[in-house]
Amino acid sequence: MDLSYHKLDPIIHQPARLSIMAALAVTLEVEFIVIRDTIKISDSLLSRYISVLEKAGYIYVRKVFVNKRPKTWLSLTKKGHIAFNKYIQDLESIVSRKSQ
């Protein structure tokens, strides 16, 4: 089986998007500002990365108002969980082949 780095999901492979997916993979839902502060990027950059992941069907974006203030919550979709798990498996396969 040929599994080189270019076979990794390019949507997830970008470092900030990978960080977003990893953060969402371990919880049900995370607020936008928590992700922003965790991966240390600007609101505008995070919004762009979220748009890419949402368009791919990997994340679900839920917008609500709390005390008249907008809040954005993010979660992985089933497709997102599957894609992230496959990405991790592919990465592990690459690493294990390199160390043999």
Q: 93: which residues sit within 8 A by CB, 6+ positions away?
A: 1, 3
pLDDT exceeds 60 at position 40: yes
Q: How many other CB atoms are there within 10 angstroms of residue 50's CB atom?
A: 19
pLDDT at 6: 63
Domain 11-94, CATH among 1.10.10.10, 1.20.120.1200, 3.40.50.620, 1.20.1370.20: 1.10.10.10
pLDDT at 4: 60
Predicted TM-score of the model (pTM): 0.87
pLDDT band with cut points at 50, 70 and 90 for residue 100: low
Distance CA 31, CA 71 (A): 7
Tokens of 74: 């993010």
Mean pLDDT, rounded, for 53-68: 95
Tokens of 78: 């089933």
Distance CA 28, CA 40 (A): 21
Pairwise pLDDT comparison (94 vs 89), residue with the higher score: 89
